[in-house]
């Protein structure tokens, strides 16, 4: 139907035959193609220039997050507390999981709060690109700003829930020690890991929409594998009589490593043989995951930079 | 043809054929030579060369597929895409050259590929075939996506400015100008969700036009707002053109296009149907 008219217009536009091709014209005037991925170092610099946007965006999202609920920001504290309460009743009281563990409430709360930080970052990161398509299609910015902002948003929430955790741990009878000064170090390493993990799931989530359906399933499995409400050593080697290497591998998973280290710091009686220091293996695992996830995450996300927002 | 005319007149039915307003245009409608119009400087800023854009659209998932993690896992393991994924050929071979000082209006029915074309020029959609060459970074006047309704106007101004890539110093400098231009006065302290639609539109336009752009792409931003504000925004577009920029304008209000543009491109089903003087193109468009 529209073919004849279009053909006329095409002829008009293509009436340039005899002139130089448009690509040459563009080159002569120094025009460049609109889509190009910057080199990796340049990309990181661009991200750094966007730090104000990333911070403001994270803060804004936090401000608006609970604006529709009556209890508002209180939910940031209530959600992990309610979760911990359910697991305490379930595994501590009914199933008797806390019998062999000294100060089980502190053990459980530490695991719960630390795991929740990583879990929430990964879940949010997976939606950071696919949930912001309109912004990606309207504005120019390094796309990694979005997963980064989501991680920073979770970090801001962690500051509150960490305060709650410390108060609760003191209430269960643990006294603050000098080792508590190590808490920021663990959280820093965990944050670096979370940033990397967030970037990876952001890209995967952008290209594979099914990830959001799959994630609850993955994070729940991860929760069970990280020994949040049981001692991996006691259950896997002690009760299930599996070989030691199975427990070792489970301790090497990033979430379990950060939880273990934090427990060593907060609960002096947790593992008297080590005395506040996690096994070297766990320590190495904490540092390795932070460095590896961060490096790989940025690289992996950057590789697909120009394709976000399509389709 | 009769069918098309009918459809067109349904969409644009109430628009007058020619508004009778004075149009500041160079009367040279014939697309001859290198430049299709008698343009001020003659240096190209945007070259669109046989551009094709293909969109991927995801259909709604059926009930059987939704919310079941195991189903999703099997699909992922088998590396199957969603069967409902469709490809839409939105822009089919568009070619034109835009010059310094041009204000180009783009008209066409809903779904004719206008917005897609703008996004491709902005470099936000990769071309399927062909290429877009630009001088500097064209920006879409579309800061809306970064703003949040629950935040106050004040916070949104800061957020929007950062989203466009301004530095804190620039934000400080522009802040008052944005408030004044939008004319929302003391409402700036209230959440944007309390604004009337006109006020919201004014604030969005004020924020997104606060940055200086070489090539500015405007998609339906001037449709809302009262007459005073419309005048103000047309004035601002004129300023951008005078500072040797190029403006692309998509609008359904043909009067706005006639008053601001010196060239109009009529897109129909992803192709250019007409390209030239606003009066001629718009009257042809109104006739269908």
| B27 contacts: CB under 8 Å, gap ≥ 6 | B277
Q: With contact defined as beta carbons under 8 Å apart, do B131 and B51 qualify?
A: yes
Separation of alpha carbons A56 and A153, rounded Å? 10
- A202 contact partners, CB below 8 Å, separation of at least 6: A125, A126, A128, A129, A144, A146, A147, A150, A301
Count of domains observed in chain B: 1
Q: Which residue of A has its CA nearest to B80?
A: A208
Q: Which among B85, B124, B121, B152 has a CA at the least distance from the CA of B217?
A: B121
Average the pLDDT over A73-77 and give the result.
Answer: 76
pLDDT band of B274, cuts 50, 70, 90: confident
Region B253-271 average pLDDT:
84
**Residue B98 DSSP SS3:** strand
Tell whether B44 is covered by a domain: no
Contact pairs from chain A to chain B, CB under 8 Å: 181
CA contacts within 13 A on the Cβ side of A258? 28
CATH number at residue B22: 3.40.50.300
**A309–chain B Cβ distance below 8 A for any pair:** yes
Question: Is residue B163 predicted with pLDDT exceeding 70?
Answer: yes
Does any domain span residue B224?
Answer: yes
Using CA atoms of B233, B237, B239, B245 in order, give the dihedral in degrees to the nearest 10.
160
- Supply the pLDDT for residue A228: 84
Q: How far is CA A50 from CA A173, A193, B162, in A?
A: 44, 21, 8
pLDDT in tens, B187-246: 888 888 888 877 888 888 888 888 777 788 887 655 556 777 777 777 777 777 777 578
The predicted pLDDT at position A66 comes to 76
CB contact under 8 A, B133 and A307: no
End-to-end CA distance of chain B: 9
Closest CB to B134 among A32, A208, A307: A32
Q: Of A136, A138, A210, which has the smallest distance from its Cβ to B75's Cβ? A: A210
- A244 in contact with B, Cβ within 8 Å: no
Burial of B280 per CB tally in 10 Å (0-12, 13-18, 19+) = middle
Q: Is B139 helix (H, G, I), strand (E, B) or coil?
A: strand
Question: Residue A184, Cα to own-chain centre: how many angstroms?
Answer: 17
Sheet holding B263-268, edge to edge: B139-140, B215-219, B246-250, B103-107, B263-268, B271-276
pLDDT at residue B21 above 60? Answer: no
State chain B's mean pLDDT as an integer: 74
Predicted ipTM of the assembly: 0.77
Has residue B6 been placed in a domain? yes
Nearest to A310 among B56, B133, B272 (CB): B56
Closest-CA residue to B32 (of B275, B287, B285): B275
**Nearest Cα residue to A258 out of A125, A154, A110, A123:** A110
Over residues A1-16, the pLDDT tens digits come to: 334 444 444 444 444 4
Position B178 in a domain: no
In a domain, B109, yes or no: yes
Q: For residue B233, give its domain range.
A: 2-31+99-124+136-141+209-287
Tally of CB atoms within 10 A around B100: 19
Q: A56 CB near a chain B CB, below 8 Å?
A: yes
| Neighbouring residues of B21: CB distance < 8 A, sequence distance ≥ 6 | B255, B258, B259
- Find the mean pLDDT for residues A171-187: 86
In this complex, do B155 and A15 lie within 8 Å of one another by their Cβ atoms?
no
What pLDDT, on the 0 to 100 scale, is given for residue B141? Answer: 75
Distance between CA B155 and CA A148 in Å, rounded?
A: 20
The alpha carbon of residue A144 and the mean position of all alpha carbons in its chain are separated, in whole angstroms, by 13
- Confidence tier at A229 by pLDDT (50, 70, 90): confident
**Domain-embedded: residue B165:** no
What does the pLDDT read at residue A17?
44
CA distance to A200, B150, B194, per residue, from A64 (Å): 26, 6, 15
Query: What is the side-by-side order of every strand in the sheet holding B44-57?
Result: A32-33, B129-134, B44-57, B86-99
pLDDT bin (cut points 50, 70, 90) of residue A273 is: low
Tell me whether residue B87 is in a domain.
no
Which residues on B lie below 8 Å from A214 (Cβ)? 69, 72-73, 76
B243 within a domain of the structure (yes/no): yes
- Mean of the pLDDT values across residues A157-179? 85
Write down the pLDDT at residue B147. Answer: 84
pLDDT at A289 over 60: yes
Task: Please determine, for residue A54, whether its predicted confidence score (pLDDT) is greater than 90.
Answer: yes
Distance from CA of A73 to the nearest CA of B (A): 14
Cβ pair A34:B121 closer than 8 A: yes
Question: Which of A189-198, A290-299, B83-92 shows the lowest mean pLDDT across its residues?
Answer: B83-92
């Amino acid at each position: 139907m529209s073919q004849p008219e279009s053909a006329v217009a095409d002829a008009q536009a293509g009436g340039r035959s005899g002139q130089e091709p448009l690509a040459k014209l563009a080159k002569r005037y120094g025009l460049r193609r609109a889509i190009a991925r910057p080199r990796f170092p340049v990309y990181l610099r661009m991200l750094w220039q966007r730090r104000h946007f990333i911070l403001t965006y994270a803060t804004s999202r936090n401000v608006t997050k609970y604006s529709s609920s009556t209890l508002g920001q209180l939910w940031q504290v209530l959600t992990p507390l309610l979760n911990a309460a359910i697991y305490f009743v379930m595994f501590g009281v009914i199933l008797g999981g806390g019998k062999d563990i000294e100060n089980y409430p502190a053990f459980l709360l530490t695991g719960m709060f630390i795991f929740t930080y990583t879990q929430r970052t990964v879940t949010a990161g997976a939606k950071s690109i696919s949930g912001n398509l309109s912004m990606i299609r309207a504005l120019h910015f390094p796309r990694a700003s979005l997963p980064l902002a989501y991680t920073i948003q979770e970090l801001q929430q962690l500051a509150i829930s960490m305060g709650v955790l410390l108060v609760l741990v003191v209430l269960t009878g643990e006294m603050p020690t000098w080792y508590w000064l190590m808490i920021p170090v663990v959280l820093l390493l965990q944050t670096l890991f979370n940033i990397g993990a967030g970037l990876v799931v952001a890209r995967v989530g952008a290209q594979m929409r099914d990830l959001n359906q799959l994630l609850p399933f993955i994070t729940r499995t991860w929760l069970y594998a990280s020994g949040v409400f049981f001692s991996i050593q006691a259950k896997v080697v002690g009760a299930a009589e599996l070989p030691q290497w199975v427990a070792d591998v489970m301790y090497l998973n990033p979430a379990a490593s950060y939880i273990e280290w934090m427990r060593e710091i907060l609960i002096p009686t947790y593992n008297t043989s080590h005395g506040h220091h996690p096994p070297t293996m766990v320590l190495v695992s904490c540092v390795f995951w932070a460095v590896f996830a961060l490096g790989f995450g940025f690289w992996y996300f950057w590789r697909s930079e120009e394709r976000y927002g399509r389709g | 043809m009769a069918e098309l005319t009918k459809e067109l007149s349904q969409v644009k039915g109430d628009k007058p054929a020619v508004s009778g307003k004075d149009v500041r245009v160079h009367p040279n409608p014939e697309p001859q030579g290198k430049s299709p119009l008698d343009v001020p400087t003659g240096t190209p800023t945007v070259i669109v060369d046989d551009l094709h854009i293909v969109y991927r659209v995801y259909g709604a998932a059926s009930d059987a597929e939704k919310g079941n993690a195991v189903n999703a896992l099997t699909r992922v393991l088998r590396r199957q895409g969603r069967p409902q994924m469709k490809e839409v050929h939105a822009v089919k071979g568009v070619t034109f050259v835009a010059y310094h000082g041009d204000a180009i209006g783009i008209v066409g029915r809903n779904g004719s590929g206008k917005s897609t074309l703008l996004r491709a020029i902005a470099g936000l959609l990769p071309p399927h075939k062909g290429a877009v060459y630009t001088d500097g970074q064209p920006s879409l006047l579309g800061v809306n996506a970064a703003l949040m309704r629950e935040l106050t106007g004040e916070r949104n101004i800061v957020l929007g400015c950062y989203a466009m890539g301004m530095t804190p110093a620039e934000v400080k400098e522009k802040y008052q100008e944005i408030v004044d231009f939008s004319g929302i006065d003391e409402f700036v302290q209230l959440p944007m969700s309390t604004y009337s639609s006109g006020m919201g539109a004014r604030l969005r336009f004020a924020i997104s036009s606060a940055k200086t752009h070489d090539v500015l792409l405007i998609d339906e931003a001037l449709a809302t707002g009262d007459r005073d504000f419309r005048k103000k925004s047309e004035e601002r577009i004129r300023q951008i053109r005078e500072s040797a920029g190029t403006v692309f304008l998509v609008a359904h209000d043909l009067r706005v296009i006639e008053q601001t543009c010196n060239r109009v491109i009529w897109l129909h089903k992803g192709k250019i149907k007409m390209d030239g003087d606003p009066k001629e193109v718009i009257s042809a468009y109104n006739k269908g």
